[in-house]
Amino acid sequence: MKKFHNKQLQNIICSIIAIVMIFGVIATVAYAEVVEPDAFQKVVLQVISLTEAQRTNFVDNVLDRITTANYKDYVDDAKAILRLSMSDSDMEKVLKSYAYYPDSHKSNLKNLIKVFGLPSKPYNTASFSDIERRINFGITGNSDDSRGFKLFVEIFKVIRTFNVSPVFYDHSDDFYKIDIRVSGNNTLKNEINALISSVESLANKGIESFDDFAEYIENEINTNSYAQIFAFKAFLKAELGTSAYEGTLPEPYGIDPLQKVFLAVINLPKQDRKDFVERYLLR
């Protein structure tokens, strides 16, 4: 049992390091000519959105072959694999920055790119779409870019597993609202701080630490209607479990019957949701 626990802990730490290191590529501009940070963020978000096979292809056929002498030769290959609309000039600068990335970190970075990716399937956010759009905008700078919300969920999945206490609570001043906090794990917070400080769209808002990020996201969530906040809490409870959300899920007044049914359904186990759809909605 102890061996399993240690291995599990190691995997969790690797997940955190993976996120931090992948976003850490943005910070490598110090090793090359000045690059617009947005170009790095665009590439990073695209890389972690690829399938495992595509990420492996990108590592094996681009990153493994790049040197400080030949990085220009891989601009077309990188754009083709990433399927990314970007000028040759910007991609060249991104690859040059990677070419000058310290050798001691390249191997770890490439391995981590292979194993870390965002989920391909979209989350059902219809009942809290305004909240999702705000989170998307806060992380990616684009309210329609669902990768922002996916990354938000992945970050908190890691935190939930690693942290001894829940992260989401009913707000003490208004229990219909949400409170986000990570306490009792400075190592984890330091790793997350490193991640957040490297994301340009967050830095532009003066967000340089997890506490800043939590406060910003809290405000973005809590400016929405109680109905959407309730739906968001229900999503957190269903997706991340009570180990992440410690609250009573207080139901506000004014939720229409259809929304109540929808919220009840998304809280069902996967098989029960499938049975409900097949039994009632497909007939």
Q: What is the per-residue pLDDT for 151? A: 85
The residues with which 179 forms a beta bridge, in sequence order, are: 169
- For the four alpha carbons of 219, 221, 224 and 227, in that order, the dihedral sign comes to negative
Report which DSSP code applies to 72. G
Q: Rounded CA gap, 218 and 224, in Å?
A: 10
Q: Rounded CA gap, 248 and 262, in Å?
A: 18
Q: Rounded CA gap, 198 and 202, in Å?
A: 8
Longest dimension (CA), the chain: 64
Torsion of CA 144, 54, 116, 135, to 10 degrees: 0
Torsion of CA 130, 135, 137, 143, to 10 degrees: -40
Q: Which of 26, 19, 44 is nearest to 188 (CA)?
A: 19
Q: What is the per-residue pLDDT for 39? A: 77
User: One digit per residue, pLDDT tens: the chain, 283 residues?
Assistant: 333 344 444 444 445 545 554 444 434 333 344 445 567 778 888 888 899 999 999 999 999 999 999 999 999 999 999 998 889 999 998 898 888 877 766 777 787 788 778 888 889 999 999 999 998 887 777 899 898 899 889 878 877 877 778 989 999 999 999 999 877 667 667 766 766 666 666 677 788 887 888 888 899 999 999 999 999 999 999 998 888 899 988 888 766 666 667 666 766 667 777 777 777 777 6
Rg of the chain in Å (alpha carbons):
20
Q: What is the per-residue pLDDT for 119? A: 87
Spell out a b/e string for 81-113, using b for 16 or more CB atoms within 10 Å of the CB, else e: bbebebeeebbbbbbbbbbbbeeeeeeebbebb
What's 212-254 look like in SS3?
HHHHHHHHHHHCCCHHHHHHHHHHHHHHHCCCCEECCCCCCCC
